[in-house]
């Protein structure tokens, strides 16, 4: 008569069963580790993309700020080379000879092989009234739709020693030109000389060095030429 009880598993069967259980546990642990590693990689990639996006955004903002600062300088250039009155700022325009003087100072014509007439015609785009408004001037140097080379011009000018020297001249005009007409008058110059502890004789001598055409005021191009002369003397 057969026994109603199953025979107990042999020692080998027990070991095999334990090995299989351990193998399954190890496999499950490996899968869990792989899943965790994939999640970490995905998270890391997401963080990298986020950081990259932030850097790109910061770069875009920085570029925008640089362009705004550049155009602010160009606005100062416009009013100084035109010579404006604060009461008529919206009524004044840049003429061809004033544009020619500006382009000569910053050496834009030589570098880009363009003439004053070509630049003038490109700027005078709205109603072709033969004079340049502030907006036309700024559009030429800041709007790629108006001037496809404007970014290249910005880069050239920011690296140009002449443009940096012109910035210094603009800073002096902004500091000394009390009535904000774009030129330094004798009264303003003598007041500035007193602040700088210059004697009346030194102030007078310096005035005549800058006012080269004896017009009674100092234009931005005269101040620029004087600064350039002093810089040349320092290097010699």
Number of domains in the chain: 2
Q: Is residue 12 domain-resident?
A: no
**Among residues 125, 159, 193, which one ends one of the domains?**
159
The residue ranges of the chain whose pLDDT is under 70 are 1-26, 28-29, 33, 35-65, 84-90, 126-128
Whether residue 126 contacts residue 136, with contact meaning beta carbons closer than 8 Å, is answered with: yes
In a domain, 53, yes or no: yes
- Tens-place pLDDT, residues 22-47: 666 667 667 776 766 666 555 545 54
CA distances, 31 to each of 40, 41, 42 (Å): 14, 15, 16
The CATH number of the domain holding residue 221 is: 1.10.238.10
Q: Which domain holds residue 97?
A: 49-159
Find the CATH number of the domain harbouring 83. Answer: 1.10.238
| Judgement on whether residues 234 and 184 belong to the same structural domain of the protein | yes
Residue 169: what pLDDT?
Answer: 95
Q: Do the domain assignments include residue 177? A: yes
For 132, phi then psi, to 5°, come to: -110, 125
Rounded CA separation 228/236 (Å)? 12
169 occurs within a structural domain: yes
CB within 8 Å of 127: residues ≥ 6 apart: none
Note the pLDDT of residue 19.
57
d(CA 10, CA 24): 21
Same domain for 77 and 179? no
- Asked which of 159, 187, 205 is the last residue of a domain, the reply is 159
pLDDT in tens, 141-170: 999 999 999 999 999 999 999 999 999 999
Per the listing, tokens 């000018």 go with 157
């Amino acid at each position: 008569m057969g026994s109603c009880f199953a025979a107990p598993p042999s020692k080998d069967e027990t070991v095999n069963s334990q090995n299989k259980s351990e193998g399954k546990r190890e496999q499950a642990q490996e899968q869990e580790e792989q899943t965790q590693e994939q999640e970490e990689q995905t998270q890391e990639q997401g963080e990298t993309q986020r950081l990259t996006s932030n850097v790109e955004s910061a770069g875009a903002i920085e570029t925008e700020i640089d362009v705004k600062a550049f155009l602010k300088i160009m606005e100062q250039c416009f009013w100084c080379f035109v010579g404006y009155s604060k009461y008529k700022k919206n009524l004044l325009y840049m003429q061809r000879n004033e544009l020619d003087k500006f382009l000569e100072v910053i050496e834009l014509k030589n570098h880009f092989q363009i003439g004053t007439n070509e630049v003038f015609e490109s700027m005078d785009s709205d109603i072709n009234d033969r004079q340049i408004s502030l907006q036309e001037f700024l559009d030429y140097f800041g709007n790629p739709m108006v001037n496809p080379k404007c970014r290249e011009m910005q880069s050239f000018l920011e690296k140009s020693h002449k443009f940096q020297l012109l910035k210094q001249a603009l800073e002096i005009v902004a500091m000394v030109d009390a009535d904000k007409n774009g030129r330094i008058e004798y009264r303003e110059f003598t007041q500035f000389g007193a602040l700088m502890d210059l004697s009346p004789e030194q102030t007078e001598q310096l005035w005549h060095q800058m006012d080269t055409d004896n017009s009674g005021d100092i234009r931005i191009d005269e101040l620029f030429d004087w600064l350039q002369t002093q810089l040349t003397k320092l290097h010699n």
